[in-house]
Amino acid sequence: MPAIDYRELYVGGQWTHPATADTIAVHSPTTEELIGSVPRASEPDVDAAVAAARAAFDEPGGWASWHPKQRGEALEQFAAELDARGAETAARVSMQNGMPIWLAQQFETIFPPLLLRYYSDVMNSAPVEEERPGMLGGTSLVSRQPVGVVGAIVPWNVPQGISFLKVAPALAAGCTVVLKPAEQTVLDAFLMAEAAVAAGLPAGVLNVVPGGADIGAYLVSHPGIDKISFTGSTTTGRAIAETCGRLLRPVTLELGGKSAAIVLDDADLGASIESFFGATLLNNGQICWLSTRVLAPRSRYTEIVDTITDLARSLTIGDPLDPKTKIGPLVSSRQRERVEGYIAKGKLEGRLTTGGSRPPGFDQGWFVEPTVFADVDNNATISREEIFGPVLSVVPYGDESEAIAIANDSAYGLGGTVWSSDAGRATEVARKVRSGTVGVNHYVNEPVAPFGGIKDSGMGRELGPEGLHAYQVYKTIYLPPA
């Protein structure tokens, strides 16, 4: 397959020459071959992108001043152009980060246009301005205004889905965006830019600046930026929060996780095994909200460990472009080394029941077997730290209150699941889990409901109407008494 090469950047609504000749090369995690390259944005490119976004936001008659219905029509065009490129988008993501193609068709193809349409509807369904009769005489005119120019920084694990968690509500609210994709997944971002060009999105409304940590940090502190929205590791999130704190710049942070799957003593895990897979090992274990600490009751411990072990053994490992593949390669050799480091620790901290190695027969690619450790203490490194690979730790517990205490004994608080034959009982347990989101017998990022974390998992919310409000600021005009 010929490599996908881009020579220009999408800045200011058109393809522009980059300031330097630097490029980002993308390699397949499956074959290790070069699959494409794009220009690497440098500081002058970010300056140009921010200036274009600033102009599109500030100029009279610009994007921010459009009626929400008019913006909705433009976003519908954008959504239609994304739809038209859906199959190619899924394939590019799979080729770059190893996401199984059937999952890419959901997260990367269906989700982004769905979010554009959803946020157009949310924006149009409630007035942005209301009159409140005052208590001290007069009336207050309270409105929600777009926050301004948004710097959006995203990781490689779900590149399109996560980009649109930010781009869709920001654009619907009337903000303009400078998007910085991760270096590992830039080829899909250029397809997004092609869709924006074909849709005729006004100049400067969306700009794409591919680059690494340095260009991300430059964007975060850029004087032309009004808000940062970041998804990525807790370490990077902390650094960004420090900068935003100093600048008093609003910031949304979606960070790491180490969520618990609480398996109650009446659970029929076998009957919900597909959902359990989706909540624990999806995307080769590279999703922030996965329930990677499995809490199993001592009364049924052996049976539950066996069920999870059988699940891990049953998963087809292979080329992510093959629809039969359940587990593809990790994103990079560096990521595999990191995961293998945790597996080595796990062999000291728990009892390996399956996996633990590179799968036989895969001479190329960054593959790791789905791996399960049983008998793990909740204080072990593999219970406390995010591994970001197909590795589960099973922690035994006695009664329900101990399960909840173990679930809550974590630096993180992003996801989590409760498994039971009694959904009402599971919901009561879910209420007691200290986390931004918890699933009962399944886990799904539902567009209408807020998603985000507490503690080291971040702050702020995406999705739901709350995800739109993240890109709005309140403004009050005090009207005089009549």
Pick out residues in 374-403 that bind ligand NAD (CB under 6 A).
Answer: 386, 388
Reported as half-sphere exposure (CB side, CA atoms, 13 A), residue 256 has a value of 19
**Interface stretch with ligand NAD, choices 25-33, 44-52, 154-162, 292-300 (CB under 6 A):** 154-162
216 sits near ligand NAD (criterion: CB under 6 A): yes
Q: What type of residue is 387? A: I
Among 124, 233, 333, 421, binds ligand NAD (CB under 6 A): 233
Q: What type of residue is 333? A: S
CA distances to 282, 345, 390, 397, 407 from 379, rounded to whole Å, are 25, 13, 20, 13, 12
Residue 198, phi then psi, degrees to nearest 5:
-65, -35
156 sits near ligand NAD (criterion: CB under 6 A): yes
Residue 63, phi then psi, degrees to nearest 5:
-50, -45
Q: What minimum distance in Å lies between the beta carbon of 184 and ligand NAD?
A: 7
Nearer to ligand NAD, 84 or 217 (CB): 217
Nearer to ligand NAD, 304 or 433 (CB): 433
Residue number, nearest CB to ligand NAD: 216
250 sits near ligand NAD (criterion: CB under 6 A): no
CA distances to 31, 336, 357, 470 from 333, rounded to whole Å, are 12, 5, 14, 36
Site map for ligand NAD, 330-369, x if CB under 6 A?
Answer: ----------------------------------------
* H helices present in 17-125, as ranges: 43-58, 68-84, 86-97, 101-104, 111-125
Q: Is 481 exposed, middle or buried (0-12, 13-18, 19+ CB in 10 A)?
A: exposed
Q: Any residues with CB less than 8 A from the CB of 130 and at least 6 apart, and which?
A: 141, 142, 143
Nearer to ligand NAD, 295 or 414 (CB): 414
Nearer to ligand NAD, 162 or 264 (CB): 162
Alpha-carbon gap, residue 452 to 462, rounded angstroms: 6
45 sits near ligand NAD (criterion: CB under 6 A): no
Nearer to ligand NAD, 29 or 68 (CB): 29
212 sits near ligand NAD (criterion: CB under 6 A): yes
Q: What minimum distance in Å lies between the beta carbon of 173 and ligand NAD?
A: 19
Q: How many residues bind ligand NAD (CB under 6 A)?
A: 29
Q: Indicate the DSSP class of residue 113.
A: H
Alpha-carbon gap, residue 320 to 317, rounded angstroms: 8
Nearer to ligand NAD, 63 or 451 (CB): 451
Tokens 């060009």: give the residue. 197
Nearer to ligand NAD, 225 or 255 (CB): 255
**Interface stretch with ligand NAD, choices 33-41, 70-78, 147-155, 368-376 (CB under 6 A):** 147-155
**Interface stretch with ligand NAD, choices 151-159, 201-209, 312-320, 376-384 (CB under 6 A):** 151-159
Reported as half-sphere exposure (CB side, CA atoms, 13 A), residue 7 has a value of 1
Answer for the pair 414, 450: CB distance below 8 angstroms, yes or no: no
Instruction: Pick the catalytic residue from 81, 108, 183, 254.
Output: 254
Q: What minimum distance in Å lies between the beta carbon of 228 and ligand NAD?
A: 9
How do strand 351-354 and strand 371-374 relate by DSSP bridges?
A: antiparallel
Site map for ligand NAD, 445-464, x if CB under 6 A?
Answer: --------x----x------
**Interface stretch with ligand NAD, choices 86-94, 120-128, 216-224, 322-330 (CB under 6 A):** 216-224
Q: What minimum distance in Å lies between the beta carbon of 401 and ligand NAD?
A: 28
Crossing angle for the helix pair 400-408 and 423-432, to the nearest 10 degrees: 40
Site map for ligand NAD, 269-298, x if CB under 6 A?
Answer: -------------------x----------
Q: What minimum distance in Å lies between the beta carbon of 305 and ligand NAD?
A: 26
Token pair recorded at residue 406? 């173990």
Task: Examine the residue annotation and report whether 254 is marked as an active-site residue of this protein.
Answer: yes
∠ CA(155), CA(94), CA(115), 5° rounding? 60
Nearer to ligand NAD, 154 or 468 (CB): 154
**Interface stretch with ligand NAD, choices 48-56, 230-238, 265-273, 317-325 (CB under 6 A):** 230-238
Alpha-carbon gap, residue 318 to 357, rounded angstroms: 15
163 sits near ligand NAD (criterion: CB under 6 A): no
81 sits near ligand NAD (criterion: CB under 6 A): no
CA distances to 37, 51, 89, 143 from 126, rounded to whole Å, are 43, 31, 33, 11
Token pair recorded at residue 122? 């949310």
Q: Which residues bind ligand NAD (CB under 6 A)?
A: 153-157, 162, 180, 182, 212-213, 216-217, 220, 231-233, 236, 239-240, 254-257, 288, 386, 388, 414, 453, 458
Q: Which residues are catalytic?
A: 254
